[in-house]
């Protein structure tokens, strides 16, 4: 049984916003519904897109994919569907895995110069003979909707307005939606990738959390995670985070997407056990994943507005 009490909070604009505050009986966590939040975000972005079209501006996203990686195909297809839903024009460039670095960079330069293209995304991974870091550097910072250009990463570290990498951005929106305050909290991130761990560290520092980043060479990992008010797992190891690694009442964010032997998706967190200790937790699927694509769409609309001031 859960006792639910209605209350409201005062938003920054003075608006009263009603929410359900859940008083938990027992140790069951509140499930952070990324799927529902992503849907609401897309609906709002669709309205923004229609406003742009009323002014004769049609947002356009160009996606580059090199090779035929099965997972990449799924991600690209989901991005195409999101564009269709919101009203963003979508262009896809499927390149052979034998393409040279020069050919890839030439395509990026062409899209940089195309004024009808507002956002450019290079789907990773790409073949090993190609330099993805150079490719990210060559994507115009004004069209870098993935937030991987060094200019945008630098702005993020300086807490300046920029394009934030989509997964970290989605996580920050979840915190905002569920009124999870980061200020002064001990926050632990497991994983230091350029795509999630490092930009997420900057996002959390910018929101006044005390951040610890752990990785494969971290000693005494369990001691660090058990001290975390907020624990974020982003390492790509199925059910790596177990209940004995989690502080009672912690907020647990699971970024991992792994497919088990039974073909079912699992996260980096042992969801069924950890949810008994956590105060909030994200599921897999239906948690961080949908928010990543929603934030990509947000960045495309933002880029379009910035380029048409």
Active site residues: 79, 123, 146
State how far Cα 240 lies from the chain centre: 20
Contact 211/191 with Cβ under 8 angstroms? no
Residues with Cβ within 8 Å of residue 287, at least 6 apart in sequence: 32, 34, 35, 253, 254, 267
Is the Cβ–Cβ distance between 120 and 140 less than 8 Å?
Answer: yes
Cα–Cα nearest to 280, from 17, 3, 34, 48: 34
Who's near 275: CB < 8 A, 6+ residues apart?
28, 29, 31, 281
Among candidate residues 37, 25, 44, 128, the one with its CA nearest the CA of residue 87? 44
Asked if residue 232 lies in contact with residue 268, where contact means CB atoms within 8 angstroms, the answer is: no
Q: What is the dihedral of CA 73, 77, 83, 85, to 10 degrees?
A: -160
Q: Decide: residue 262, CB within 10 A, 0-12 exposed, 13-18 middle, 19+ buried.
A: exposed
Nearest to 258 by CA among 279, 281, 289: 289
């Amino acid at each position: 049984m859960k006792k639910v009490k209605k209350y409201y909070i005062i938003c920054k604009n003075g608006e009263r916003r009603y929410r359900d505050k859940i008083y938990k009986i027992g140790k069951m966590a509140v499930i952070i519904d990324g799927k529902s939040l992503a849907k609401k975000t897309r609906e709002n972005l669709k309205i923004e897109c229609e406003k742009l079209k009323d002014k004769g501006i049609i947002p356009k996203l160009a996606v580059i994919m090199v090779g035929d990686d099965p997972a990449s195909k799924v991600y690209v297809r989901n991005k195409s569907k999101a564009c269709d839903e919101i009203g963003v024009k979508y262009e896809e460039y499927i390149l052979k895995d034998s393409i040279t670095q020069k050919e890839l960079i030439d395509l990026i330069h062409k899209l940089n110069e195309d004024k009808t293209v507002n956002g450019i995304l290079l789907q990773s991974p790409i073949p090993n003979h190609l330099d993805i870091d150079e490719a990210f550097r060559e994507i115009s910072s004004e069209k870098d909707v993935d937030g991987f250009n060094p200019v945008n990463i630098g702005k993020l570290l300086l807490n300046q307005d920029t394009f934030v990498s989509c997964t970290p951005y989605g996580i920050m929106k979840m915190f905002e939606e569920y009124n999870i305050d980061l200020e002064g909290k001990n926050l632990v991130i497991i994983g230091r990738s350029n795509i999630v761990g490092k930009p997420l560290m900057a996002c959390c520092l910018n929101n006044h959390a005390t951040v610890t980043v752990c990785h494969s060479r971290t000693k005494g990992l369990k001691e660090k995670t058990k001290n975390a008010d907020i624990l974020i797992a982003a390492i790509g190891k199925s059910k790596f985070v177990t209940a004995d690694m989690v502080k009672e009442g912690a907020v647990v964010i699971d970024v991992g997407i792994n497919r088990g032997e039974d073909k079912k998706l699992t996260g980096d967190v042992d969801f069924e056990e950890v949810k008994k200790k956590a105060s909030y937790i994200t599921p897999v699927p239906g948690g961080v994943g949908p928010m990543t694509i929603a934030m990509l769409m947000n960045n495309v609309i933002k880029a379009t507005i910035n380029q048409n001031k």
